[in-house]
Amino acid sequence: MDALLSIPLTLLDQLQKPTLAFLIGGMLLAACGSKLTVPDPVYKFVVMLLLLKVGLGAGISVREANLTELAVPALLAAVVGIAIVLLGKATLARRKGVSEADGMATAGLFGAVSASTLAAGMAILDDEGIAYEGFIGALYPFMDVAALVTAIVVAKVGMARNAAARLQAGGTVALGGGGQAPVERGLIGGILKDTAQSPAISALLVGLAIGLFAEPDSVYGSFYEPLFRGLLSILMLVMGIEAWSRLSELRKVAGAYVSYALLAPLVHGLMGLGAGLVAHHLTGFSQGGMILLAVMAASSSDISGPPTMRGALPEANPSAYIGASTGLGTPVAILAIPLWVALAELAVG
Amino acid sequence: MDALLSIPLTLLDQLQKPTLAFLIGGMLLAACGSKLTVPDPVYKFVVMLLLLKVGLGAGISVREANLTELAVPALLAAVVGIAIVLLGKATLARRKGVSEADGMATAGLFGAVSASTLAAGMAILDDEGIAYEGFIGALYPFMDVAALVTAIVVAKVGMARNAAARLQAGGTVALGGGGQAPVERGLIGGILKDTAQSPAISALLVGLAIGLFAEPDSVYGSFYEPLFRGLLSILMLVMGIEAWSRLSELRKVAGAYVSYALLAPLVHGLMGLGAGLVAHHLTGFSQGGMILLAVMAASSSDISGPPTMRGALPEANPSAYIGASTGLGTPVAILAIPLWVALAELAVG
Amino acid sequence: MDALLSIPLTLLDQLQKPTLAFLIGGMLLAACGSKLTVPDPVYKFVVMLLLLKVGLGAGISVREANLTELAVPALLAAVVGIAIVLLGKATLARRKGVSEADGMATAGLFGAVSASTLAAGMAILDDEGIAYEGFIGALYPFMDVAALVTAIVVAKVGMARNAAARLQAGGTVALGGGGQAPVERGLIGGILKDTAQSPAISALLVGLAIGLFAEPDSVYGSFYEPLFRGLLSILMLVMGIEAWSRLSELRKVAGAYVSYALLAPLVHGLMGLGAGLVAHHLTGFSQGGMILLAVMAASSSDISGPPTMRGALPEANPSAYIGASTGLGTPVAILAIPLWVALAELAVG
């Protein structure tokens, strides 16, 4: 098929998928003045189930992997996830008019991984007969959780600093600069603790722990996994309703999100490919594995990310982070897969 | 089997089906003074999921049909649905002691369609080797949604008029009759808008839109469809508890509901058969299609109807509308299927 | 495998199963100060679904059994369930520091039946070629419901008497002893009525009635049964959070629970075997049936019991009853199965 034609078709295909379709459905409801709401206790429970599932799935896939083989690529995957978020802080979040919470939530989703984009990458490698390690699926949680937690902590530290700065500016006595470093350290420690204890992240972590150390595979397969996409459709409907009411906030900064969403997947994919090359030289990580690490890094989370951000960073505007990631970032990441195949062939083939 | 014996057996069979069994279970709970309740936020969510499912299913079946072939029979199906409701307004809702809300909710359910009665009709045609169009399943939402929305709007207009009349009668200055028509038009417009924005109908409509324009088939098949019957059983339990406490309201008017429930399916089936005959002459609609249009018209909704009425017309008494439709109307509609087969053979065979 | 080695392995296996893993997960959450909570309306709904499922399943299995064959063993199973609870009252609940509610909740769980332990027993009999009656699965609800209801009523009567005693001791005028017996009878009647009307037990009873008299098999198979283990995992998480905060209450009486949990399954299994022997002489109940009645009596409920106790006896401490039953009683009951095989062979082989 003509490459130029495939871009709008990929976009249309993405728009028709349940995730975006329910988000747009929610926006339509809000636009038409519908009185439909998901009661708050139910909504909290839906988010909890989604994050338990993400944690359980990650824990099970890590438990089933060979930990010694996994160690180096997993560490590199986590480093790439963190680096993507920090890059987002230095670029997107610096843009005028982009709020700390919105910028970091978006960077967090671009650092996290889309399981369906990864599956598309695996299908392409299978078709072309390029081999990759069996434990690749277990790398995904390392990049995913590292990026999401980094983004949340960075956003909260930034918001706390801004609040402190406003307080100081308004106060009559300025504190000396000498006490800043320990205060900062205490601040980050407190935010890490708060983040780990927040309902969203602690659901993710308890799921991870149960998946790693127990054998919840039967209940995962009979309950959490089958309900997941349906509960996500509910979450998307709720987020669409909210996104509509906050869409106007974005009018002045839409350009910043569009340029980030179109460029970031390509830069992130190169970072992933570079990390894969390091692993290749250190441990003989395969060419297929390098490609899939690039695919993971280029992808943005449409599954684990939105409920996590909604739970842990309620200040962030879903129009910004889901619009940028699922609406633009994911199609770019899917279209870029052949690029990583070609570059990996050049690098080590 | 002896036809006389088959009537009580069909009734008993209907009583043992989950829909009625849970309704009776709820009535028993209320009768025994049980303190079991479904918390309100959960209940609202259950209704929302049920109506999203009904909308999604209808949208998917229409999307998959050939729209040019579908147009004429679909329009006729909608007309039959509306006509059944208006006939109910002129008959049942006029009976002394039958409230506007109860009468119209009952007529709405008799206008809406029972998927299981339709499936029984298809099975009989398959057994007898009578062919019908593949798009028949996509006709069902047109009759169903048209009847339910008409019933809700008519009931709300009637209740608003009654309230206005009581207000006028009690006031000291009577308004001139000249201003009535524009007031009425504004009233109906307002009620249509309110109905479309109500949680129940907007869940139905957003599901319909997503089913029509996106591709939610995977989440529909993995979540909404499998959960449907279970969530319906919960709804029935709740409605049974409520029905028990309102049963006494019906003592004086039970005769009106019984005679309506026994006669209406036969009259409605003839209307459906007539519409099918029109479609037969206009577009060559098949004999089997005529029979199934009669079956749809004769049937009363036991699936889409109760949650819609409960959400959009909370004033109506479920003892009246579910008792009449599922308790009496459905068995009559099932027993009448062979009648439509014979009449269609007479008309066009 | 070495028998000594199999004990810690069975314990570890039990700890990794979803039921205990989620309980421990909830305890970890509470220990780490997590703010994760399951909203109360959702929690009540989860308990209601669990108990409806238990009731429906029991009703369906009894409906499908041959009632005349079933009568004698079913009566004996109920008697064993009640006897186990009364034995628990005379032993565990008398121990110093063990509260009425905690002791009776634990005895109730040890009287109730573990479906998975029963399944393990059936698998062993199948392997050894020992025949048993097909209706055995339908005996389980009789022992289960009898034990749970007895435990709840005994606990409530005890608590009411203690409250009355405290009131009397504090009051200025003592009532004469002559009026006590009718007061007691009224008290037990009131508690039986309250128990039957409580949300937990009435969900169980309405499920039982629908399972017995209607045909909810389709909705049971498509909804209640598949969701059960997942909803139970949520319940366990909630109970774990609660158990952690109440663990300290148990420090002084842990010895009482440990000795009960290790000995009771053996004593209860002998009671079950004895009842089976009576049925063998009365109605020719098979040797395999005797063994399975012993397995049922020895087992403690990890499925139907916890939600019932949580709903009907909220005063009881889940650390006590789940820790004792699922943590210790179940492994002992599983390890004891070969003992019942050998004893039954001695008695009637």
Quote the CA–CA distance of A247 and A256 in Å, as a whole number.
Answer: 15
Rounded to two decimals, what is the model's pTM?
0.83
In the prediction, which pLDDT does B3 show?
58
Quote the CA–CA distance of C112 and C324 in Å, as a whole number.
Answer: 13
Contact A199 C16 (CB under 8 A): no
Q: Per residue in C184-211, is it b (16+ CB within 10 Å) or e — as a string? A: eeebeeebbebbbbbbbbbbbbbbbbbb
In the prediction, which pLDDT does C176 show?
43
Q: Tell which of A43, A52, A204, A219 to mutate to test the C interface (max C CBs under 10 Å).
A: A219
pLDDT at residue B74 tops 90:
yes
Contact B219 A227 (CB under 8 A): no
In the prediction, which pLDDT does B175 show?
46
Contact residues for C8 (Cβ-Cβ < 8 A; gap 6+): none
pLDDT at residue B170 tops 70:
no
Chain A, nearest residue to C241 by Cα: A206
What is the DSSP secondary structure assignment for residue A138, as one 8-state letter?
G
Point out the residues of chain C with pLDDT beneath 70. Answer: 1-8, 10-11, 14-15, 170-185
pLDDT at residue B176 tops 50:
no
Residue C44 touches chain B, beta carbons under 8 Å: yes
In the prediction, which pLDDT does A305 show?
86
Residue B260 touches chain C, beta carbons under 8 Å: no
Contact B230 C218 (CB under 8 A): no
Q: What is the mean pLDDT of chain C?
A: 86
Q: Domains (ranges, CATH) in chain B?
A: 2-348 (1.20.1530)
Lowest mean pLDDT, pick from B165-169, B238-242, C70-74, C177-181 = C177-181
In the prediction, which pLDDT does C244 show?
83
Contact C218 B32 (CB under 8 A): no
Containing A208, the helix (H) or strand (E) segment is: helix A199-213
Q: Tell which of C49, C193, C218, C223 to mutate to test the B interface (max B CBs under 10 Å).
A: C223
Closest CA to C297 of C17, C82, C19, C70: C82
Residue C162 touches chain A, beta carbons under 8 Å: no
Tokens of A15: 């728009």
Point out the residues of chain A with pLDDT beneath 70. Answer: 1-8, 10-11, 14-15, 170-185
In the prediction, which pLDDT does C171 show?
55
Shortest distance between the Cα of A145 and any Cα of chain C, in A, equals 18
Quote the CA–CA distance of A189 and A208 in Å, as a whole number.
Answer: 22
Which of residues 186 through 225 in chain C touch B, CB cutoff 8 A? 196-199, 202-203, 206, 209-210, 213-216, 218-219, 222-224
Check if the beta carbon of residue C275 is closer than 8 Å to that of residue C79. yes
pLDDT at residue B134 tops 70:
yes
Quote the CA–CA distance of A299 and A85 in Å, as a whole number.
Answer: 13
